[in-house]
Amino acid sequence: MKLKTIQFYLILLILFNSFYCKIQKNSKSNLFDKILLKEEDLIKSGIEFGSSLLLKDEKIILASDGKADDYFGASLSISGNISITGSPNAEVGTTDSQGKAYIYENNGTYWNEKQILVASDGEADDIFALDTSISGNYSIICSPYAKVGANSRQGKVYFFENNGTYWNEKQILITSDGESGDYFGTSLLISGNYSLISSSYAKVGNNTRQGKVYFFENNGTYWNEKQILIASDGKADDYFGLGLSISGNISLIGSPYATVGNNTKQGKVYFFENNGTYWNEKQILITILFMQQLGNNTNQGKAYIFENNGTYWNEKQILIASDGESDDYFSSSLSISGNISFIGASYANVGNNSHQGKVYIYEKDENYWNEKQILIASDGEAENRFGYQIVVFQNYLLSSSPYTIIENSSNQGKVYSFEIIFISNNIDETTKTNSQKYLIIGLIIGIFILISLIIFIIFWKRRKRKTRSNLI
């Protein structure tokens, strides 16, 4: 009886040990496989691991009919799996510099060219698609050099709508007070039924090139001009509207050449808020520190982080490239998504390649933005100007090099696509649930074994006492 009991518990212990080891092995392999797979992807992508962000699967996008001096990638916009790329200097038929816009769709692996858009009334030197913007099934594309009536270079903007298969031109927008040399459409943005379109060279009163921004609203059928925005303290040569940003009822409008105090061309940013009917100027943002150069580096560039506390925008941080040099023009393009920002330095040198261009990736850790990565094109060459335009939407990043040579065609241009993957070192919910389940099972088995051992010891002691008493 004693031998049989011991054998029973030994078998039980062996079974438990095998089962527990199997649980542990499966649990660890689930966790480590996930981490190792991520690191494998990272190694394959050729990008250094060091943050929660991974850029992988660099793909090159080219125009199907690209030619020299098209400057493909001079403008970029993206919404979901649809992107629009401008070739503002492209020839249409025999018409020079009329411009084209290319529609691309991502099938989950590749960006495929779906359609080439041209202006219905396009003419030579219109520079169609110098800027583009897309929001869902709506897109607006500019021709800032277009002639309106007798007004040369007054500018036009074309509204296209996607019917599910094709993009069709629906309306041509012009300003109510347009004049020659306004360059309407210099910058533009669309967000749902709102659009902001600038005439950065427009005259305001006696101030030449002070600039204006026009607010258009879509009533479901047409876009109607609703308001003209001007800077409250605008002056000549401010170029108000040369930079635009919109999110819901908030917009930021740049005057990059505005004078601040004695500093010419320091620049300002105007914060406007929409009350449901009109846009009202709420605040003027200027940098706390203004310098023409960083140390001995002229035109190196900086990026300023401002944060809205619900009422005002406050400067929080100044970003400078870790390897910045003179004439990099850091922050000549930028895009932000959540806690990740992408900042272009399209004139930056890479090795011996002058003006090849770089994109700097910053991530916000708690209260500060830290440089995490420097992105360069895998096939970059001198004068490509990678990072000329940057757009990011969800898990896609597009960066253009409009000055790239393609098979001896100078300035034909190309666009680089990257897939963004956010890496987490945390165990996913399924793994957490499984680990918790295995832990509970292990605890139950452990308690069962402990109780069984106690019972065995008690039983064995009693048996021993009984044997002794029988001997006596």
Q: What share of the chain is helix, strand, coil (3-state, %, to 5)?
A: 20, 40, 45
Q: Cβ(72)–Cβ(84) under 8 Å?
A: no
Q: What is the pLDDT of residues 295-322, one digit of tens each?
A: 788 889 888 888 888 888 999 998 999 9
Which residues form the domain of 446?
2-47+428-471
Looking at the fold, whether 12 and 66 belong to one and the same domain comes out as no
Does 243 reside within a domain? no
Residue from 319, 318, 254 nearest 289 by CA: 318
Contacting residues for 271 by C-beta, under 8 A, at least 6 apart: 250, 251, 252, 281, 282, 283, 284, 285, 313
Give the integer Cα–Cα distance in Å for 346 and 328: 7
Q: Residue 25 has what pLDDT?
A: 36
Q: Residue 467 has what pLDDT?
A: 58
Residue type, 404: T
CATH number of the domain at 65, please.
2.130.10
Q: Residue 30 has what pLDDT?
A: 33
Residue 18 reports pLDDT greater than 60: no
Looking at the fold, whether 414 and 324 belong to one and the same domain comes out as yes
Does 207 reside within a domain? no
Q: What is the pLDDT of residues 47-58, one digit of tens each?
A: 333 446 667 778
Does 262 reside within a domain? no
Q: Residue 7 has what pLDDT?
A: 43
Residue from 413, 360, 361 nearest 384 by CA: 413
Proportion of the chain above pLDDT 70, given as a percent: 81
Residue from 423, 364, 431 nearest 43 by CA: 423
Does 245 reside within a domain? no
Residue from 124, 132, 78, 77 nearest 99 by CA: 124
Residue 427 reports pLDDT greater than 70: no
Residue 92 reports pLDDT greater than 70: yes
Q: What is the mean pLDDT of residues 4-25?
A: 39
- What number of residues does the chain have? 472
Does 409 reside within a domain? yes
Looking at the fold, whether 353 and 317 belong to one and the same domain comes out as yes
Looking at per-residue pLDDT, the higher value among 188 and 25 belongs to 188
Looking at the fold, whether 31 and 139 belong to one and the same domain comes out as no
Residue 432 reports pLDDT greater than 60: no
Taking residue 105's Cβ as centre, other Cβ atoms within 10 Å add up to 14
